Amino acid sequence: MLDSFYSLGISHWNCPLEIRELFSMDEHQKTRFLAEIESELGASAIIVSTCNRTQVYANNVNLHLLKEKFLKHTGNHKDYFEKYGFIYHSDKAIENLFEVSTGIDSQILGDLQIFSQVKEGVELSKKHNVLDAEMDRLLQFVFQANKEVQSSTTISKGAASVAHAALLKIRQKTQDLPSKKILLFGTGEIGQRTLENLNSQTSAEIVIVNRTDEKAIRLAQEHNVRSVSIDKLQDEIISSDVVVVATGSKNYTITEKHIKGVNSKKLFIDLSVPRNIDPKVIESTLVDLYDMDQLNSEADKTLHKRKKDIPKARTIINLHTIEFQDWLKLHKLGPVIKSLGITFEYIKDREIKKYKGQYEADDIQKVKPLIDSIVRRISSQNIEYLRKRYRYNEDILEIIKEMYKLN
């Protein structure tokens, strides 16, 4: 497989939210990381930075140097990485890329959002020319596997997203309210998904606010909800039953000052990593606060049904992994096949020159098509045999090299 393919990072499986948020990377950090990976290490890489993980996949790279770059651009939290981090190599790293991209490795099984975040990572790497041919081809097989898992399994059916988990929690906590008002703060990807879920599956009054008023106004018009300016944030918090925050900031965007004047019970949901609601707000007895980890741990009625399709999804992944292995083997044969063709042409030309004095030039030209045909036939049979045997026995490559004295 790919001997210098690695993945490292931290994820929800063994790392608490308060540590994961320390490793989150914004666009500037990602861009600088990729630039150094390309210019200093000459490697290929993608970054998957989500609410549940900050993870790098890299090819043709030195692991020690990759780890150094990762720690540098995620805040130099070496001790935490040694305690909570993971490193995968070769086949295991490739398997993990397939599992993450198809939702099997998500905290909410089948989370549709994770694939969008993988695609974002790929697009950013392509933008900065940090993808080599091998990794680009691997990702094509990964994308195809995701497509088949989505179309032929139920893994992503039901509450298979953080946005849907938030909706379930809102329903649970507000079921006794005859009417309710929900404030959504933040209109990025998670915020928009949450807005779509809330708007289509509740009858609540929905108000959206964003640090950029123009975006909030546009989304409000698209979804037939109300938007307010950010300077009205505290007033809207006080008058709302539910406050959902998906602002994607490095700092808290909701703090204790925003709940001054609150006189009724409120549900706060923080969909941001790092967290954007200051945990101190729960010091108020009127505030219930749920972050990403708490939402993801909520019971999911469709989980058991989705789990039944995990073996089917793994079968799809295995098939595409085998196809990639097959492509990779044949890809590595390319230089040898090219050299083999050059060698046959050299032998042909050498033999023609050897007998050139014994024949007229016209005679040689007459039989040359026949000679070329014979050489092509012998060449194609050798190449076909090499391709067929190399799939199962890599030693054949060295035998051919030795037989024809290929470099």
Catalytic residues: 51
Our separate counts of H helices and E strands in the chain read 16, 10
Unique residue bearing structure tokens 């770059």: 69
The H or E element that residue 99 is part of is helix 91-102
- Give the pair of three-digit tokens for residue 374: 């014979």
User: Which amino acid type is present at position 83?
Assistant: K
Q: CA angle at residue 71 from 141 to 56, to 5 degrees?
A: 5
| CA dist., res. 74 & res. 405, Å (int) | 49
In the sheet that holds 44-49, the strands lie side by side as: 44-49, 53-59, 6-11, 86-89
Q: Is the dihedral of CA 136, 137, 142, 146 positive or negative?
A: positive
| CA dist., res. 154 & res. 310, Å (int) | 9
CA distance from start to end of the chain: 22
